[in-house]
Each structure stands twice: as structure tokens, then as C-alpha cells.
Structure 1
Amino acid sequence: MNIFSKISFLVFSEILFIGFNTTTAQEKKHFKKQPNIVLIFADDLGWTDVSTGNTNGNRGSKLYKTPEIDKLASQGMSFTNAYTNQNCAPSRASLISGQYPTGIDNQVFNVGSLSRQDKRTKGFPDLPIKPFHQQKVISEDGVNIFDVLKTKGYQTALVGKSHGTPHPLKGDYGIDLPADIHHIIPAPVNGKRVKSFYLALNSDKKGWTFNSEYVDKYADPYDQEYIDNKLKPYKSQSDQSLLLDTPKHLTDAIGDFSVDYIKEKANNEKPFFLYVPFNAVHSKVTGRKDLTKKYLKNGLNVRFAEYASMIELLDQNVGKINRALKDPNGDGDFSDDISNNTIFIFYSDNGGLLGNKPLIGKKGNLTEGGIRVPLIFRYPNVIAENTVTNQAVHCIDFLPTLADFAGVDISKLKKIDGSQPQYDGVSFASILTGKKNYLSRTNLYWHLPGYMDERFSPSTVIQKRFGDDYYKLFYFYESEEFTMYHLNKDLSEENNLLENPTSKEMRIALSMNSDMLAWLKANNAPTGTWIKNGEKVPHPLVDSVKKYKN
């Protein structure tokens, strides 16, 4: 099945920006030529793990160094309220599908399953709720972000972690080049099965390998030529001579693949969409030797030195990819610069694991530390430089936003069965272009009908904007209880407003609960069943928040 049979309605003429597309006629002058798109999706990089002050207000990291990401922030727009789902697979699934996990073509709520043992009760079957049985990957029948862009002639590529789609990629997911690498790469080396998390393996049969037919060409150990030509611009006070003849790091290999892809496609008449979901900085964290040594010398313990090394290595590869856009053929002559016609995006799939203060929680939690992440967009002459927005956006919004810039009217698309795909996201192109400060959409949702160890139990969360203020309401199905927080004043989610709500706070809670219930019903959101009697766990009642009223 190819893309032209999968999507029965293709748009070949210029498309009016209607439906989900919010671009005005004045904005359309920027879209004379479809932009290339490079989307970098870091893995487990927390909101406070980058040093740029723009991304996190004034909370940029003083410990980790990310000069290339900082530069990107100075050249584009940073989002202080950018969100994802709580861990890897559901974030990728939502980004690619444009749907919440409740969407018909998604159904990916958690990594693996919703039955991950809970330490409170030593696992199943002692928990009160039998979880919903989720899908592990998005449906092939959906019209995903790759499919959408291909209707306007985009060449598409994925290199990195495809979590949320099949491993390796199967069928037609709209990707021209399925360069699929996994975080944990099991490989038989000299007759023994080992696990390599980030460093290339040496096999008698394959030579140096990452177990990827697309990236293995970059798996050879570091040599002097590579250090001089690829790494020297990012020396960063590390002793790069320590790398000679040591195994190649997967992060560098993914960066090298991306550079060569840009070089190959730069002069092509067709625009390209390069999706680079790096495996960094996911555990087990393994930094690059020269950078780890630098941080150890600076006094960090081994754990944090490896993590700082990993973050800086990711940053260097952001710089490497950015440099390729400025000089695709690498000859030092910038006459082939394509950066002005490229949307360059830096994003992360969920919160970090090693501390996210002032946010509470970590990857796997629905508190801000698990779902609030860095996000930067650059598009020269379209997105103003060094700007910051507090508009809340989510990975479901990327599909309609990029469709807007590419000139695709997603309301005209059809699935293979003739039905119209339903997207949960909205375009935030008008925020990026400075035409609006806020979207008309005020609510974001998270819904988890199951368990992930101690980090979450069956719950639904709504975030709602009232003017400039963001509030967040949690509902916990086991106890049928709510908590609510005013994020503008309480990023750490320490002050549960429902413990002693004012009349205003009670009105806000009732409004949010009403919206939550309407959304749950509209999406037929699953809740699991009670172990004690096999009955379906009910959604919250419209007025169930009233029990907190004094």
C-alpha cells in the first residue's frame, strides 16, 4: 500500500487555510515556497535540563551546558508551557497521529501496557481496577503527520527512536526512509548476546554496528579525521583526543545521518521533513568519553557527569544539524544555505529523571515535572527572533501546525475507508507568526486508564486557561477524589486549592470538571473495570467536585 492509495483525496492545488488552519491572508505571503522541516525530539530531556533562559523563564540550567540550543532559542520562539504525554511511546504516538491516546487511530496510553506493577500493593491482581488493554502502536489506517506532508510532495525520513509505531517500521506509515534505531540494541557479538545502550558494538559478522542498516555506516570508531572535521567546531574545553579509536556514540551517528540527509535533499525541488527522535538522554545514560571526563574534572559525581555529558553531546548534534542547514555541502561557502526556508524545531518527549525543580515529579508522572518540556521553533523572517510565549501547546498540535505551514487543508483529507481523519490538536501557527497571543482552545487533557508502578494510577487531568491563568484539575478513579492547582502561582503543585476552596476556586473547579466529563464522554474514554465486581469504572459526575465546598 502506498501513500496515494492510503489517502484517497490529495490536494494538488494551492489550498485555502480553513478548518483547523488558522493562517490569515497576510501570513500567507511567508509561504511562497513550502519550508523544509527538521524536528528534533529529545528523549527524557527535562524542562530545566537546558541552559537557555528563554525556554524556562529564568530557570535555565546552570549545571548543564547547551550553547547550540541556546542559540536556537535566540533565533526563534520558545514555549514556557509546552507539554507532552508522561513517557516515550504515547508522546510519539500523539505527535505522529495528531490524536490524544483516546483517539481512534492512537490508543497508545503508556509504554508497554497499563498493567505495570504498582509498588503500593506488590502488583496485580491486588489493585482495585483492572486496566484498559491498550494498543502498543498507532493504527496504520490513520492519516499521520508523514502522510499529511506527503500530500504536498514532502520527502519524509525518520532516524532514531520510533516508539509508538512498529519496531521496525512496517507497512505504509508515510515514511520514505524508515531508519529505525532502538534505545536498547540487542546484538550477538562474537557469539555472545550483549546489550549496547549507546556505543557501537564490534561483531565478527557485521563489524562495527548499531544494528541499523541505515546508521551502521556511521558506526566506525572515532578517528582523527572525524575529530578534526566533525567535532572540532564543538570542542567545548574537552580533550577530544581521548576519543581516538573508541566506539562511536549513537547520538553522533544519528547526527551524522541527519547531516548527510540534509546534504542529499538540500537541492531537491521537493521539500523534506526530517524527524530526528534522538535516543539521548534516556537511561542507561552513557555520555561521550571526552565530555564525561570534562564534567568529572569540574567536580560532578559520576552519575551527573554522565548526564551532563549526554546533554552536551545532544546539544552538539543540534549544532551539527543546524550547521548542515547553513552549509549543506560543507564547503564553507554559505551560498547553498537553506536555513531561511527551514522550520527547525527542538522538543522533548517527556520530563527528565534526575530532577526538574521547581517542577515536581519526573518522567511517568502527570505532575508538571513529567509532562512540561522545552520547545523551540525557528523559521527566519516568519517567527520573530528571541521571543517567548506562554501559550500552552501539546504534541497533538504539531500535525495541524506543520500542515498549516506546508499548505495542507487537513479538513479535506480522507482515510482509506473514505472517512475523514479526526485530529485532536489545533494549529498554533498564528502564535508562531505573532498574529495571536493565545489560541481559542483553552483546555488540554491527559487520561490514563491504568497503572505505571508508583508513578500513576487510573486518572484524568485537565489543564484550563482562564485569561492569562492556568489551572490544573486531577481526578483519581480509585478514590474518586480531586485535586486542583493554580500553575501560575504554584508550579510545584504543592497547594491543593480544593482543601479549602474560595467561591471563585469552586466555580473554576466546577467548570473544569464539567469540561472534563464532556471530553471523556465525547471520546468514549476507557476507564477499566472494578476488580471486585467486573463493572465498568464510571467517569466523574458533573457535580462531584461540590463535596469540597465548605
Structure 2
Amino acid sequence: MKIKCACWLALFLLAPFGELQSAEKKQTPPPNILVILCDDLGYGDLACYGHPQIKTPHLDQLASEGMRLTDCYASAPVCSPSRAGLLTGRTPNRLGVYDWIPEGHPMHLKRDEVTMAQLLKKAGYDTAHVGKWHCNGMFNSKEQPQPGDHGFRHWFSTQNNAIPTHENPNNFVRNGKPLGEIEGFSCQIVADEGIRWLKEWRDQEKPFFLHVCFHEPHERVASPPELVKQYLGQSLYEDQAQYFANVANMDAAVGKLMKTLDDLKMADDTLVFFTSDNGPETLNRYGKGSRRSWGSPGVLRGMKLHIYEGGIRVPGIIRWPGRIAAGQENKTSVCSVDLLPTFCELANVAVPQNRALDGTSLVPLFAGKDLQRTTPLFWNYYRANSTPRVAMREGDWKIVAHWSGPEGVIPLGNNVNSISQEFIKNARLTKFELYDLKHDISEQHNLAWQEQERLKGLKKKLIQKYTAVQKEGPVWDTKAYEQTREKRLFRKPAK
């Protein structure tokens, strides 16, 4: 009897210990999450990424307090696809977001896609989007889903860029209500909205997910005169000084957000992820009135719209005090499609099981462990300025592929239409290039001939991935949009 009692006592004492450990693990509160996304910020545009003139003290500090990623990627080399990929954890061609979305275009992030905002909201988060949306053509219309339909309880957004420029924009909408002209510069307006939401409007009882999407430094660039003067003193062109000041103004807006986290005593409980939607804009692509695209890809080949590194490799900074050691530089390849599975793991909510995901959780990286990718990183842009249209990275190796469609942009028209979709859905991969990014970050040495066995294996994986993504992507009915656009183009001027 005494032995039996002793056994029960042992079980009684041991069981609660295990349960307490499990309960402690479950009761660890999920972090607040702040994702900051810039527009057309180049890999070499920040001081902490080597820019010799632009001063970015707040982002430099953020990097010193966390992890600076040397190999951080956007999900596409152009804005709308990149944003859709970030929100869903899926390469954007699966979603049918094949290009930037013009106003009135039928292409959009479909209602049945699952975003990180929806998943975090399900996990008990309060959610807000402030800044550039650009995931639909029919903005603030019931005809297409809006930020609120994709999981953001509060939204203060624009369809695309700040209009007419970053200064005194007039196209913001808050929760469905157009606001007219707002005095100030866009990044400060966006940061102020996020700060007000954090202080006054969010549910204080819940963790938060705040997605801050700056318009800077996308054209049309406008910057505070006092900042421009600081750079004009360095013998720069006026337009160069305007761009440098634009990045500096965005940096100051980040500083305001970080100070708010400190003031609210939430910095230690908040994971901050800072990045860009694609590489820097090529100079003068927009013509008259847009001459201020002086962004830098650093040592990378290509710029925005390129499948080469300059189009897709971007700044990436992660800070989470107490969970990510300060002062790190990490060379692991990371992509914006990784954010959804990362946040799901941290919030203890399941990732969508009924669709393919292209990212992997970054949580092991925070603890200094290696990532185990089940699928290589992948990019596909049919209107790339680089001749290759498709790329894949596995480890240190990157394979890029040409396609059987037109090499130029002009035959495909201004955007996604009935002609371009024929190629998007049916073009085959043809010639291939191979680069060792560990030793050739600038992609100057095509090793396809020297590494034929490696090329063969990567080529097989790339074709499999490309074919699966190509099959999944929907076809948009663009006839009405094309007819409307044609009427606008050929309309007789008023007398």
C-alpha cells in the first residue's frame, strides 16, 4: 500500500511540472508585429548598406539593435506582385498578380486568397494598414476586395502612389472615406496615422499587426526643403538631392515609429521587419516630371523590373529585443514570402493547408539556426527589363531563364491584357544562366558551361516550379479595360 501511494505521489508531483512547462510555453504572449515596406528603395540606398552620402541614422540604429540581412529578397521586381506575395506567402504569379495594377484594371488580390492580416486577426490580433495598397485596380469600390476585406480592421491607404506627389497628397482613403488633400509629406502622414492608431484606436487588450507602406522613394519624389538643402551642399544635382532627402525623410518617419514603441513601452514586445518592395527605379522611366530616381542597387546587377539581383534583392532589417541578438549580420537568403509562415508560427495559428505556400518560417533564424527550405526561392516577371524572365535561388546558386515569349516589352502592351496573358500562361523556358552568388554577387560570370551537372539539376527543379505556378495562375478578362483604355488613348482633344 505504501509503495502504491508513493507511486501516485510521484505521478502527482511530476505531472504538474510537465503541465506547467507546457502551460508556460503556451502562455508566452505572441509578439506585436510591425512590418515597414518602402517603395523602390534600392539595396544600396541606406548608410548601413553602404551608401556614401545618404544619412539614415534611425535605420542604422535599428540594424544595430537587431539583424541586418545581406541576402533579403522581395517576392517580385515590381510593386503590386511584390505586395501580394508578401501578404500571402505565395509567389505572385500563383495569385494572378502578374504586374503593377493600373487604376481600373480587373487584376487584383482575390477575395479567396488568405493574407497574414486575416490569419493574425484570427489569432486575436488587432490589425491596421497605413500607406500604399496597390493590390487592386478598383480601389475603394465594392467591385473588388479592399484592405478591410483582406483582414485589416483599420486602413488608411492609397490605390497606388501618393498624388500629385509626396507633398500634400490628396488620394488617401480611411476605412472607405476619401480624405482629400492632407498637408505634409507622405511618409510622415503615414507614420502619424500609424502612431495615432497605436495610441488611440487599436484594441489595447490585443497584440497588434501594423503594416506601414511608405510611398517613398517612388516617383514623383518630393522632399522637405530643409532636408534637400543638406544634400545640395554636397555638390549634387537638385534631383539627386531631392532623392537623397526623400530617403532621409523616410528614415525620420521610421524613427518616429520606433520612438512611439519606446514611449508606449512596447519595443521589447514588438517584432519589427523593415524592407522594400523591389529594387531602385531606373532613371527617367516615367518621363516629364519624374527625374528624381537616383536609387542605388549597390554592387548588384540590374535595378527595378530586373530578374537579376538588383531588381529583387533589397534591404532587410529585423529587430526583436530579447529574442534576436543585437548587432548581427546574417547571410541567409530570406524573402518576403517567408513572413506569413513566420508570423503564423509566432502567433500559434496554422498556415493555410489548401494552397501552395512558397515561404518558410524564419523562427529558427532568430535562434541562430539554419533554415530548412522545402522549395527554393522563385521569381517570374513577364515584362522584366532583363532578358531573362524567371529565376530561382537554392543555397548560394541562382539559375535564371529566358522564355519563348517576346524579349521586348512593347509587343505586350502597357500591362496585363489578352495578348500578354497568352504568353504568361503558355511560354516555355529556353536558355539558362547560372551564378554562384557567394563568390559573384554582381552576377558577372555565367557558369552554365562549367557547372553542367549542377545546371541540369537546378534546371529540372526550375521547370517543375515554373510549370506548376504557370498552371495555377488565373486568366483575367481584360476586354472591357482594354476597350476603355483604347478610347482614352485615341480620344480627340477638346477644342
Give yes or no for contact 1:428–1:439 (8 Å, CA) kept in 2. Answer: no
Q: CA RMSD in A?
A: 2.8
Is residue 2:225 matched to residue 1:289?
yes
State the alpha-carbon separation in 1 of the partners of residues 73 and 229 from structure 2.
Answer: 33
Query: Residue 427 of structure 1 corresponds to which residue in structure 2?
Result: 361
Query: Residue 392 of structure 2 corresponds to which residue in structure 1?
Result: 462
Give yes or no for contact 2:96–2:474 (8 Å, CA) kept in 1. Answer: no
- Residue 329 of structure 2: SS of its match in structure 1? strand
Q: Select the residue among 250, 255, 268 that pairs with 2:191.
A: 255
Is residue 2:398 matched to residue 1:471?
yes
Please state which structure has a larger fraction of its residues in helix: 2
Is residue 2:456 matched to residue 1:510?
yes
Shift in CA distance, 218/320, structure 1 to aligned 2, threshold 3 Å: farther
Is residue 2:89 matched to residue 1:98?
yes
- Residue 41 of structure 2: SS of its match in structure 1? coil
- Residue 350 of structure 1: SS of its match in structure 2? coil
2:246 partner amino acid: M
Give yes or no for contact 1:451–1:457 (8 Å, CA) kept in 2. Answer: no
Give yes or no for contact 2:68–2:316 (8 Å, CA) kept in 1. Answer: yes
By how many angstroms is 1:446 displaced? 1.2
Aligned length: 408
Shift in CA distance, 488/525, structure 1 to aligned 2, threshold 3 Å: farther
1:219-272: per-residue Cα shift (whole Å, max 9, x none)?
Answer: 665xxxxxxxxxxxxxxxxxxxxxxxxxx1111111111111111267711111
State the alpha-carbon separation in 2 of the partners of residues 527 and 36 from structure 1.
Answer: 33
By how many angstroms is 1:312 displaced? 0.4
Query: Residue 422 of structure 2 corresponds to which residue in structure 1?
Result: none
State the alpha-carbon separation in 2 of the partners of residues 528 and 138 from structure 1.
Answer: 11
Shift in CA distance, 301/100, structure 1 to aligned 2, threshold 3 Å: same
State the alpha-carbon separation in 2 of the partners of residues 45 and 283 from structure 1.
Answer: 11
Shift in CA distance, 523/261, structure 1 to aligned 2, threshold 3 Å: same
Give yes or no for contact 2:398–2:434 (8 Å, CA) kept in 1. Answer: yes
State the alpha-carbon separation in 2 of the partners of residues 527 and 320 from structure 1.
Answer: 40
1:476 partner amino acid: W
Is residue 2:38 matched to residue 1:42?
yes
1:58-80: per-residue Cα shift (whole Å, max 9, x none)?
Answer: xx111111110010001111111
2:380 partner amino acid: H
Shift in CA distance, 220/464, structure 1 to aligned 2, threshold 3 Å: closer
Unaligned runs of 5+ in 2: 1-20, 282-294, 408-429, 476-495
State the alpha-carbon separation in 2 of the partners of residues 425 and 135 from structure 1.
Answer: 27
- Structure with the bigger RCO (C-alpha within 8 Å, sep 6+) is 1
Query: Residue 318 of structure 2 corresponds to which residue in structure 1?
Result: 377
Q: Select the residue among 97, 121, 129 that pairs with 1:150.
A: 121
Query: Residue 425 of structure 2 corresponds to which residue in structure 1?
Result: none
1:518 partner amino acid: Q
2:173 partner amino acid: S
Is residue 2:207 matched to residue 1:271?
yes
1:426-452: per-residue Cα shift (whole Å, max 9, x none)?
Answer: 111111232x1333446111123x335
Q: What TM-score, normalized to structure 2? A: 0.76
- Residue 150 of structure 2: SS of its match in structure 1? coil
State the alpha-carbon separation in 1 of the partners of residues 129 and 189 from structure 2.
Answer: 14
- Residue 151 of structure 2: SS of its match in structure 1? coil
2:399 partner amino acid: K
Is residue 2:440 matched to residue 1:444?
no
After TM superposition, list the pairs within 5 Å mapping 1:87-486 onto structure 2: 87-103=78-94, 106-112=95-101, 136-165=107-136, 167-168=139-140, 170=146, 172-184=149-161, 196-200=164-168, 209-213=170-174, 221=183, 248-264=184-200, 268-328=204-264, 337-353=265-281, 354-410=295-351, 420-434=354-368, 436-441=369-374, 443-448=376-381, 450-451=382-383, 455-456=385-386, 459-465=389-395, 469-478=396-405, 480-486=430-436
Give yes or no for contact 2:101–2:135 (8 Å, CA) kept in 1. Answer: no
- Residue 332 of structure 2: SS of its match in structure 1? coil
Unaligned runs of 5+ in 1: 1-24, 114-133, 186-194, 202-208, 222-247, 329-336, 414-419, 530-550
- Residue 394 of structure 2: SS of its match in structure 1? strand
- Residue 357 of structure 1: SS of its match in structure 2? coil
State the alpha-carbon separation in 1 of the partners of residues 27 and 324 from structure 2.
Answer: 12
1:360-379: per-residue Cα shift (whole Å, max 9, x none)?
Answer: 11111111111000111111
Give yes or no for contact 1:88–1:349 (8 Å, CA) kept in 2. Answer: yes
Give yes or no for contact 1:167–1:180 (8 Å, CA) kept in 2. Answer: no
State the alpha-carbon separation in 2 of the partners of residues 359 and 458 from structure 1.
Answer: 16
Shift in CA distance, 39/493, structure 1 to aligned 2, threshold 3 Å: same
Q: What TM-score, normalized to structure 1? A: 0.69
By how many angstroms is 1:94 displaced? 0.4
Shift in CA distance, 64/386, structure 1 to aligned 2, threshold 3 Å: same
State the alpha-carbon separation in 2 of the partners of residues 301 and 524 from structure 1.
Answer: 44
1:179 partner amino acid: F
State the alpha-carbon separation in 2 of the partners of residues 494 and 135 from structure 1.
Answer: 39
Is residue 2:72 matched to residue 1:82?
yes
2:97 partner amino acid: V
Query: Residue 5 of structure 1 corresponds to which residue in structure 2?
Result: none
State the alpha-carbon separation in 2 of the partners of residues 97 and 527 from structure 1.
Answer: 14
Shift in CA distance, 179/211, structure 1 to aligned 2, threshold 3 Å: closer
Identity %: 29
Shift in CA distance, 373/458, structure 1 to aligned 2, threshold 3 Å: closer
Shift in CA distance, 360/456, structure 1 to aligned 2, threshold 3 Å: closer
- Residue 69 of structure 1: SS of its match in structure 2? helix
State the alpha-carbon separation in 2 of the partners of residues 483 and 220 from structure 1.
Answer: 48
State the alpha-carbon separation in 2 of the partners of residues 388 and 31 from structure 1.
Answer: 31
